[in-house]
């Protein structure tokens, strides 16, 4: 199975809340399943976003799930934390000099074309809640999954510390996102091969 099929299978198996089917149907009208996960780092390739979402979900479950916790919450947070990146990137090309061959090559590139600049985590929460209600722990986890990379945290907001203190799922999702991004997905950029 491909990433899209794996995503839909995990989503359908674990997310049964009212509105889940409508959310998945809406996602299929976007570029979620073909979009990159970033402009040039992890998953900067076609399908990178769905790949990253599955990787975060798998790391979240395999490393941080504790018996008795809600599997649906883990699926919602892992699979949907970056929903804000649907219809977010614009594909293109640029020329890069190949140092080995001393020739110019056309390589794929992505730029941000955000038609709804609402923030990162908060935009994902907003988009999800158009279809299904999040529990407070899920909303906090998705809102703060970027950790110190979040613009609010970089600007000095202490809300992230309070969220992490009150909602362990928020810490777990952030750690799963870091592991997927920097360890699991190393070398997955078609734009930057470092």
**Considering the domain boundaries, does residue 149 fall inside one?**
no
Mean pLDDT of the chain: 94
pLDDT band at 154 (very low <50, low <70, confident <90, very high): confident
pLDDT at 41: 85
Q: What pTM value is reported for the model?
A: 0.91
In a domain, 47, yes or no: yes
Q: Mind listing the pLDDT tens digit for each residue in 85-95?
A: 999 999 999 89
Q: Does 21 have pLDDT greater than 80?
A: yes
The two structure tokens encoding residue 37: 């996960």
pLDDT band at 192 (very low <50, low <70, confident <90, very high): low
Q: Report yes or no: 66 and 22 within 8 Å, Cβ to Cβ.
A: no
In degrees and rounded to multiples of 5, residue 117 shows phi and psi of -75, 80
Number of independent structural domains in the chain: 1
Whether residue 88 is contained in a domain is answered as: yes
Spell out the residues 6+ positions from residue 31 whose beta carbon is closer than 8 angstroms to its own. 86, 87, 89
User: By percentage, how much of the chain surpasses pLDDT 90?
Assistant: 82
Position 129 in a domain: no
């Amino acid at each position: 199975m491909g990433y899209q099929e794996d995503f839909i299978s995990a989503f359908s198996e674990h997310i049964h809340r009212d509105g889940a089917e409508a959310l998945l149907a809406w996602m299929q009208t976007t570029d979620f399943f073909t979009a990159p996960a970033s402009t040039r780092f992890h998953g900067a390739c076609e399908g990178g976003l769905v790949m990253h979402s599955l990787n975060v979900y798998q790391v979240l479950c395999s490393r941080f799930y504790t018996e008795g916790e809600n599997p649906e919450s883990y699926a919602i947070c892992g699979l949907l934390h970056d929903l804000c990146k649907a219809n977010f990137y614009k594909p293109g090309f640029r020329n890069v000099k190949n140092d080995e061959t001393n020739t110019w090559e056309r390589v794929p590139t992505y730029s941000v074309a955000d038609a709804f600049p609402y923030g990162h985590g908060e935009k994902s929460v907003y988009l999800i809640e158009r279809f299904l209600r999040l529990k407070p722990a899920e909303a906090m986890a998705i809102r703060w999954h970027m950790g110190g990379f979040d613009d609010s945290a970089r600007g000095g907001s202490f809300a992230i510390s309070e969220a992490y203190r009150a909602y362990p799922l928020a810490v777990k999702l952030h750690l799963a996102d870091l592991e997927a991004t920097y360890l699991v997905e190393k070398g997955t950029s078609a734009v930057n091969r470092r």
